[in-house]
């Protein structure tokens, strides 16, 4: 009944399963970052440094709001993965239906609130006056697209929870191509300024979401909901909120630290903002494998919780960490040697000071990629196991670290402190997550030992 498009991750080699699942996700993330980089390249090259800084100055608030949406949707997919692992397809469908209702309400409320407060937030962040209007033009459109953000991330999360990591990638590749074409048309021919790439992002993501919807209906028999399964059920809503809201808040709380840091960077002037924008784009591209490993281990852990196989969770997390560490060394070497050359994608060669800052930023960050491996793998594993509340506490650790740098050290040390903000956040998060994982794993062992065979256990139950 599960169908050929699903993948059972409760049996077989953890290394092969993780690599096989992560590679399509990585391809999708790379394409996502690719068209994000194209946005930045087009803005920087065609509209100038101030426009690049304007778009970059919205990065942290963008992450805070859109990251919340993505985190919530990832949380909603966890009960689906767990029920798939336990072969409880009726409950699986009810979770899917209730996640649709909850997502719709959250999308409407969030869109209205953040669009109304958009300019006030930018002023609170001390966005430089020479770029604030363009910053508003860009981020307002992105926030108008919150409903399509929910649409794509919820549906792609559900598809991945059933073991299919390839299909969302195909749709993302198509939307990436559409995004790039719309970027060129909106800026080069329609002269829409920074609003053009924003509309391109929203439209292309909406297309991806609709394609996921059509695919789910045609390919997944277990997702063909009966009329009675569409009924709003508080038990399922409560479970979804228990999983989704903490994961969303984890992104947002982490982003609060980024907002504080961005505010401090804004105080250093548009040149520093442009350097962080370009450096951030380079880093995000190289960090895609960590995100892919995180998304993979969440599904892997969720399915194995449903199947009541905690030892496989341990094996999976070890395999993912080793893979991440090997990649970390390679990525650091590339960025140390070629970081400034890569930055030329976004900036002209005569921007010598900014290029030097970008190189320093990516070198320092890449030196701590092993710490970032642990953040992504351990945190997403804990979330897949059902202990989403711990995600909030990990986010608090990252927020505190970035707040320390933003409030205390950036005004004193300038751009050098900005370079060490992310590494400090990752190290502080790891200091919490590693013992938290041990506690969660031992708790699951106790739960499985006390639960009769055949039932599904999650930390929310």
Domain ranges of the chain: 14-450
- pLDDT, tens only, 177-235: 888 888 889 888 888 888 888 898 899 889 989 998 999 888 888 888 888 888 888 98
- CA–CA–CA angle 103, 109, 110 (5° rounding): 85
pLDDT value, residue 324: 94
pLDDT band at residue 112, thresholds of 50, 70 and 90?
very high
* Helices 14-42/49-57 angle, 10° precision: 130
Question: Is the predicted pLDDT of residue 2 greater than 50, yes or no?
Answer: no
**Comparison of pLDDT for 241 and 447, the residue scoring more:** 241
pLDDT band of residue 276 (cuts 50, 70, 90) is confident
- Write down the pLDDT at residue 326: 95
If one counts every other C-beta atom within 10 angstroms of the C-beta of residue 319, the result is 21
User: CA separation (Å) from 377 to 248, 291, 302?
Assistant: 17, 8, 13
pLDDT at 85: 78
- Contact call for residues 52 and 346 (beta carbons, < 8 A): yes
Span 273-300, mean pLDDT?
84
**CA 358 – CA 274 distance, rounded (Å):** 9
- Please give the mean pLDDT across all residues of the chain: 84
- With a cut of 80, say whether residue 34 has pLDDT above it: no
Q: What is the pLDDT of residues 396-409, one digit of tens each?
A: 888 888 888 888 88
Report the pLDDT value the prediction gives residue 6, as an integer from 0 to 100.
62
Confidence of residue 36 (pLDDT cuts 50, 70, 90): low
Q: Return the closest-CA partner of residue 246 out of 91, 386, 129, 409.
A: 386
Q: What is the pLDDT of residue 250?
A: 75
More confident residue, 192 or 278: 192
Question: What is the pLDDT averaged over residues 61-78?
Answer: 85
3-state secondary structure the chain: CCCCCCCCCCCCCHHHHHHHHHHHHHHHHHHHHHHHHHHHHHHHHHHCHHHHHHHHHCHHHHHHHHHHHHHHHHHHHHHHHHHHHCCCHHHHHHHHHHHHHHHHHHHHHHHHHHHHHHHHHHHHCCCCCCCHHHHHHHHHHHHHCHHHHHHHHHHHHHHHHCCCCCHHHHHHHHHHHHHHHHHHHHHHHCCCCCHHHHHHHHHHHHHHHHHHHHHHHHHCHHHCCCHHHHCCCHHHHHHHHHHHHHHHHHHHHHHHHHHHHHHHHHCCCHHHHHHHHHHHHHHHHHCHHHHHHHHHHHHHHHHHHHCCCHHHHHHHHHHHHHHHHHHHHHHHHHHHHHHHHHHCCCCCCCCHHHHHHHHHHHHHHHCCHHHHHHHHHHHHHHHHHCCCHHHHHHHHHHHHHHHHHHHHHHHHHCHHHHHCHHHHHHHHHHHHHHHHHHHHHHHHHHHHHHCCCCCCCCCCC
This model's pTM is above 0.75 = no
Q: What is the pLDDT of residue 5?
A: 55
pLDDT at 3 over 60: no
Average pLDDT (233-250) is 85
For residue 454, the model assigns a pLDDT of: 40
Q: Express each pLDDT in 138-161 by its tens digit.
A: 999 999 999 999 999 999 888 888
Q: What percent of the chain has pLDDT over 90?
A: 23
């Amino acid at each position: 009944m599960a169908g050929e498009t699903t993948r059972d991750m409760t049996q077989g080699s953890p290394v092969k399963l993780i690599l096989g699942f992560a590679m399509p996700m990585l391809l999708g993330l790379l394409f996502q970052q690719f068209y994000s980089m194209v946005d930045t390249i087009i803005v920087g090259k065609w509209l100038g440094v101030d426009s690049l800084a304007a778009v970059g100055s919205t990065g942290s608030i963008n992450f805070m709001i859109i990251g919340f949406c993505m985190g919530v949707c990832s949380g909603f997919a966890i009960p689906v993965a767990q029920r798939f692992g336990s072969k409880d397809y009726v409950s699986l469908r009810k979770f899917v239906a209730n996640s649709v209702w909850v997502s719709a309400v959250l999308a409407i409320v969030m869109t209205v609130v953040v669009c109304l407060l958009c300019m006030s937030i930018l002023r609170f962040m001390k966005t430089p006056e020479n770029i604030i209007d363009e910053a508003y033009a860009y981020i307002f459109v992105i926030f108008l697209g919150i409903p399509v953000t929910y649409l794509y991330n919820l549906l792609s999360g559900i598809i991945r929870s059933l073991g299919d990591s390839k299909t969302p990638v195909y749709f993302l590749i198509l939307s990436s191509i559409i995004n790039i074409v719309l970027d060129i048309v909106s800026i080069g021919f329609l002269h829409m300024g920074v609003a053009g790439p924003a509309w391109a992002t929203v439209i292309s993501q909406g297309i991806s979401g609709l394609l996921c919807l059509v695919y789910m209906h045609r390919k997944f028999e277990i997702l063909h909901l009966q009329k009675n399964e569409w009924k709003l059920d508080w038990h399922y809503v409560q479970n979804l909120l228990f999983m989704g809201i903490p994961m969303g808040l984890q992104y947002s709380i982490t982003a609060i630290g980024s907002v504080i840091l961005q505010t401090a960077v804004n105080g250093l002037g548009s040149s520093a903002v442009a350097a962080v924008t370009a450096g951030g784009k380079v880093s995000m591209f190289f960090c895609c494998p960590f995100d892919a490993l995180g998304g993979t281990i969440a599904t892997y852990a969720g399915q194995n919780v449903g199947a009541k196989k905690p030892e496989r969770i341990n094996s999976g997390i070890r395999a993912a960490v080793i893979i991440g560490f090997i990649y970390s060394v390679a990525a650091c070497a590339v960025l140390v040697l070629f970081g400034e050359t890569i930055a030329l994608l976004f900036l002209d060669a005569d921007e010598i000071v900014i290029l030097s800052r970008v190189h320093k930023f990516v070198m320092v960050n890449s030196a701590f990629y092993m710490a970032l491996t642990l953040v992504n793998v351990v945190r997403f594993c804990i979330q897949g196991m059902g202990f989403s509340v711990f995600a909030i506490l990990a986010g608090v650790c990252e927020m505190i670290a970035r707040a320390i740098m933003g409030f205390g050290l950036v005004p004193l040390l300038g751009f050098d402190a900005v370079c060490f903000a992310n590494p400090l956040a990752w190290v502080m998060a790891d200091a919490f997550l590693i013992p938290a994982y041990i506690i969660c794993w031992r708790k699951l062992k106790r739960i499985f030992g006390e639960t009769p065979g055949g039932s599904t256990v999650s930390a929310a139950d």
